[in-house]
Amino acid sequence: MATSPVSAIRTERLTAAYGDLRAVYEVSLELAPNRVHALIGPSGCGKSTFLRTLNRLHEETPGAWVEGRVLILGEDVYAPGVSPMPLRRRVGMVFQKPTPFPFMSIAQNVAAGLVAEKGLSKADVADRVEESLRRAALWDEVKDRLDADARGLSGGQQQRLCIARTIAPRPTIVLLDEPTASLDPQGTQRIEELVFELKREFTIIIVTHNMQQAARVADTTSFFYMGAMVEHGETSQIFTAPVDSRTKDYVTGRFG
């Protein structure tokens, strides 16, 4: 049963909660492939929780549950019997704080996501590592020390390493949860440039509390407020001509 091939992700009345606390309430959203989509909103509005339902990370918290449908490339990922692990190889995620795996080299870190892929020779893995590091704009800086411990890199480099690690398994969709929040302005800029490049290969969903960042990198923007998705549209429209008054208050800095 195929749905519109135009959307990479589609949610239908998605509700996500922890126990009695509903963090996301009946969100229906459609996101096109090979675009950058930003999710913005004040703290606690549910944008991160929503993001985490897309790769089924949400349910790893005890007591968490969802209602509704999430369709990734037409498939309902919450259908009974669907395992989250293959899904997570198709939908990658980068977190706010860089998380290189300790006691593993740079190359081992990048290859970490490839362990489950069958039929890869050592040469294939090495190629994939190089390809991912190039795509993450890190190759030139680390090519001579691929065996060094990953924690020797700077914050910005570590985050690009995490991006390389995430894209090495060649996912279709990449989720970014406030990826530049712990970086300095140079690091932030490099990541934003990277995002622009990456959308050629991947669909990118980025959660950010920095509106200027959303305006810079995103094609579409969705504004979340108190668990509901209030407004969604082209980024330029959201920021210059928001329809909902709450959106307008937020983007003009009235609150949040």
What residues make contact with other proteins under the rule CB under 8 A?
13, 55-57, 59-60, 62, 65-69, 76, 78-80, 83-89, 92-93, 95-97, 99, 101-104, 112-113, 115-116, 149, 151-152, 162, 165-166, 169
Query: Least Å distance between CB 46 and other proteins?
Result: 17
> Is the CB of 19 or the CB of 193 nearer to other proteins?
19
Calpha distance 232→234 (Å, rounded):
7
Query: Least Å distance between CB 176 and other proteins?
Result: 11
Calpha distance 247→224 (Å, rounded):
9
Torsion of CA 235, 237, 240, 241, to 10 degrees: -150
Calpha distance 42→154 (Å, rounded):
29
> Is the CB of 163 or the CB of 238 nearer to other proteins?
163
> Is the CB of 80 or the CB of 119 nearer to other proteins?
80
Distance of alpha carbon 74 from its chain centroid, rounded? 19
Query: Least Å distance between CB 79 and other proteins?
Result: 8
Calpha distance 26→13 (Å, rounded):
4
Main-chain phi, psi angles of 105, to 5 degrees: -75, 175
> Is the CB of 60 or the CB of 140 nearer to other proteins?
60
Query: Least Å distance between CB 240 and other proteins?
Result: 35
Calpha distance 28→231 (Å, rounded):
11
> Is the CB of 169 or the CB of 242 nearer to other proteins?
169
> Is the CB of 88 or the CB of 190 nearer to other proteins?
88
> Is the CB of 46 or the CB of 169 nearer to other proteins?
169
Contact 166, 100 (CB under 8 A): no
Provide the 3-class DSSP secondary structure of residue 152.
helix
Query: E-strand spans in 55-199?
Result: 64-72, 75-76, 91-94, 173-177
Helical (H) or strand (E) element with 212: helix 211-217
